[in-house]
Structure 1
Amino acid sequence: MNTYQRIEKAINYLQTHFREQPDLEQIAEQAHLSAFHFQRLFTEWAGVSPKKFVQFLSVNYAKELLLNQRLSVSETAYETGLSGTSRLHDLFVSIEAMTPAEYRDGGQALRIRYQFADTLFGRVVVAATEKGVCTLQFIDDDQAGMVLLRQLWPNAVLLPGTDAMQEQALLRLTENLQQPAPLALHLKGTPFQLKVWEALLQIPEGKVAVYGDIAQLATAPAAVRAVGTAIGDNPVAYLIPCHRVLRKSGELGGYHWGTTRKLSMLFRESVSFDYQCSNR
């Protein structure tokens, strides 16, 4: 059992038992660790103690995020212009769309290098063309990852191995980077999907948005349902932060890779955000 799997088991337990205020020994038992080792593991992973995390859950964490850390669409529009790309997109993540032929032909002309890796939020498969990262998804095991790659890229040449773009993507999922290096994504998607994914890049770490916010940023305010579908089709986990989108009610909503993982990401980012703000 890797670190994230232990954390995930503990968080699942806390989500269903937080009203009982379980003690450290009860939580640690879920991760099959002693209380001492679990306390250290959880604190290293999250930046706060398990007790502090229970307190977050007790005040209905997602609703608190929505109330206090929601992205201001008007401020974002002022900073970036709705018809332009965000500064985050310009400085840190850039999206290049695949050509219609690459999209249509299942990557027939592409050589895609891939690897499997463990991250803060579980095991992933990450793959890149010569132009940028094209896939980053959480997987149950490497065999499932290979099946996924072949479904996504049935006609591409798939080559095991690492490259600089993969490594830069993985750094963002394994370390707290204050100044991440620029990262290129090479994605297949419809023009509408690409516009939604670019809108997601405007949600900074420590902030959240609702589906209607993303619809406005994607200049499609009347297409909230279609925007939700496009968000669910995001091919690059975490780097395109679809986990930062909540329902208007403050509920977490769905997540392609599991709501526990989504909560884990939001919680860890919020802790990092609060820490950075307190040290400015």
Structure 2
Amino acid sequence: MEIQQEIDYKRIADAIEYFRLNFKSQPGLEQAAEHVNLSPFHFQRMFKQWAGVTPKQFLQYLSVEHAKAILKGEKATLFDAAFETGLSGTSRLHDLFIKLEGMTPGEYKNGGEQLQINYSFAETPFGTILAASTHKGICYLAFVDQGHEEAFAELYRHFPNAVYTHITDQVQQNALFVFTQDWNKLKEIKLHLKGTAFQLKVWEALLKVPMGGLTTYSGVAGEIDNPRAMQAVGTAVGHNPVAFLIPCHRVIKATGELGQYHWGSARKNAIIGWEASKVFSV
């Protein structure tokens, strides 16, 4: 089942990238289905099951016009109305459940010395992910594209002096509920992060960007009261150690273009469109 989910996501991501690269020619359902070696019927059904909307509707959420409208605040009333009526408002709540705590200077300096870190691999709508946690919360979350061994090696580089146990704990399980959209099971998610004071401020600012919402590097710089620090903000965003939960994928260019992403532009497109489909399709 997990292998099939990975295959399905890769096909969806491939189709999204195909649409993005060929948007000007407006390729149809048949062309996209052929690109991923599926019949139009099966492709439409798979895409609708994954995103909750049709491929054509999904691509609308990835358009520059849609992004600009959100950046200008034209969607704010929709967010407010949805939240007040209890419709798609609950799909934003996971941002409010996330609490961030920085590691102590000693933990930061010593590469996680004496830290006990549990880690495990799980499947998400966007591919395999590596989740790692301390007794205080999630300390690392990264998509796996080069195999489990390389993914763990990258985690180890973050905390070379920690003690590791390959086990799925309750902290990880609770955090992963955000991918299922089952808010009834979601308790408060705590993050235990290794970062500078500036990085922590940037990551906290990202948590304020709601699901379906977007911001820019200058927007984040303004949020932390340092409007000239756009380049430093970009660096901090790029060093985000917790994929998806700290939504660095919601930071785009001021032009409305979605831009690059640490875990690949195709995945960024998939996540942004998926989140928009959960909010705006209600």
TM range (shorter): 0.7 to 0.9
Letter in 1 for 2:181: N
SS in 2 for 1:205: coil
CA contact (8 A) 1:89 1:202 kept: no
CA positional deviation for 1:21 = 2.5
Note the 1:29-178 alignment, pairs <5 A: 29-56=34-61, 60-67=65-72, 91-140=96-145, 141-173=147-179, 175-178=180-183
Give the aligned length. Answer: 262
Letter in 2 for 1:214: V
Question: How far apart are the structure 1 equivalents of 2:277 and 2:225?
Answer: 31
Deviations 1:75-117 (A, max 9, x none): 9xxxxxxxxxxx9799401111111111111111111000111
Q: TM-score, normalised by structure 1?
A: 0.86
Letter in 2 for 1:100: P
CA contact (8 A) 1:70 1:208 kept: no
Identical-pair percentage: 48
Deviations 1:162-182 (A, max 9, x none): 011101111212x12446421
Cα distance change on mapping 1:240 and 1:57 into 2, 3 Å? closer
Backbone CA RMSD of aligned residues: 2.4
Q: Where in structure 2 are there 5+ consecutive unaligned residues?
A: 1-5, 81-91
Question: How far apart are the structure 1 equivalents of 2:53 and 2:94?
Answer: 30
Cα distance change on mapping 1:107 and 1:58 into 2, 3 Å? closer
Q: Where in structure 1 are there 5+ consecutive unaligned residues?
A: 76-86
Runs of at least 4 residues off by over 6 Å: 87-90
Equivalent position to 2:230, from 224, 227, 232: 224
SS in 1 for 2:281: helix
Question: How far apart are the structure 2 equivalents of 1:55 and 1:89?
Answer: 24
Cα distance change on mapping 1:99 and 1:268 into 2, 3 Å? same
CA contact (8 A) 1:112 1:158 kept: yes
Question: How far apart are the structure 1 equivalents of 2:74 and 2:241?
Answer: 25
CA positional deviation for 1:60 = 4.6
Cα distance change on mapping 1:242 and 1:69 into 2, 3 Å? farther
CA positional deviation for 1:159 = 0.7
CA contact (8 A) 2:58 2:277 kept: no
Cα distance change on mapping 1:46 and 1:10 into 2, 3 Å? same
Cα distance change on mapping 1:152 and 1:161 into 2, 3 Å? same
Q: TM-score, normalised by structure 2?
A: 0.85
CA positional deviation for 1:35 = 1.9
SS in 2 for 1:96: strand
Letter in 2 for 1:132: G
